[in-house]
Structure 1
Amino acid sequence: MGTDRLDEVLDATYDSLTRYGVRRTTMDDIASTMGVSRSAVYQYVRNKDDAFRKLAERLHAEALARAREAAAGDTSTAERVRGVLAAKLDLVLRLAGDSPHSAELLDAKARVFGDVCHGFNGSLRLLLVDLFTEAGTPAAVEPAEAADICIALVIGLESVADGRELFAPATDALLTGLLGAPVTTPTRH
Structure 2
Amino acid sequence: MAEISTLDKEQQKQAAILDAAMGVFAQYGYRKTSMEDLAKAAGMSRPALYQYFRNKEDIACSLTKLFYDRSAVAMRAALAVEGPLVEVLERSFRVKLAGVEVIANSPHGDELMELGKSVSAEQIKTGAAQLERIFADWLDQKAGQGALALEGTAQDTARVIFSALEGLKKPPFDRLEKDIPATARLFARALQV
TM-score by structure 1 length? 0.80
- Measured in 2, the distance between the counterparts of 1:58 and 1:174 equals 29
1:21/1:139 CA distance change after superposition, 3 Å = closer
Contact 1:17 1:102 in 2 (8 A): no
CA distance in structure 2 between the aligned counterparts of 1:63 and 1:114, rounded to whole angstroms: 17
Structure 1 pair 164–27 and aligned structure 2 pair: CA distance change class (3 A): same
* Match in the other structure for 1:185: none
Aligned to 1:57: 65
Preserved contact between residue 22 and residue 104 of structure 1 (Cα < 8 Å): yes
Query: Could you tell me which amino acid in structure 2 is paired with residue 168 of structure 1?
Result: P
Give the gaps of 5 or more residues in structure 2: 1-6
CA distance, structure 2, for counterparts of residue 102 and residue 164 of structure 1: 20
Matching residue of 1:142: 153
Does the alignment pair 1:163 with 2:176? yes
Match of 1:72 among 80, 100, 125: 80
**C-alpha separation between the residues in 2 aligned to 1:127 and 1:67?**
7
Q: Any residues of structure 2 matched to 1:19-168 within 5 Å, and which?
A: 19-101=27-109, 104=112, 107-110=115-118, 112-136=119-143, 138=149, 140-161=151-172, 162-168=175-181
Amino acid at match of 2:139: F
153 and 139 in structure 1: CA distance in 2 versus 1, 3 angstrom threshold: closer
Letter of the 2:189 counterpart: T
CA pair 120-164 structure 1, distance change in 2 beyond 3 A = farther
Of structures 1 and 2, the one with the larger relative CO (CA 8 A, separation 6+) is 2
Question: Where in structure 1 are there 5+ consecutive unaligned residues?
Answer: 182-189
Query: Across the two proteins, how many residue pairs are aligned to each other?
Result: 179
Pair 1:10-2:18 in alignment: yes
The RMSD of aligned alpha carbons is 2.5
Equivalent in the alignment of 2:192: 180
Question: Which whole-Å CA distance do the structure 2 matches of 1:102 and 1:5 have between them?
Answer: 29
Q: Do the aligned partners of 2:87 and 2:184 also contact (CA within 8 Å) in 1?
A: no
Inter-CA distance 175–60: structure 2 relative to 1 (3 Å threshold) = same
Identity of aligned residues (%): 21
Query: How many Å separate the matches in 2 of 1:160 and 1:154?
Result: 13
- Is the partner of 2:53 in helix, strand or coil? coil
Say which SS state the counterpart of residue 31 (structure 1) adopts: helix
Structure 2: distance between partners of 1:176 and 1:103: 36
CA–CA separation in structure 1 for the residues paired with 2:185 and 2:150? 20
Give the drift of 1:41.
0.9
Q: 1:94 Cα shift?
A: 2.8
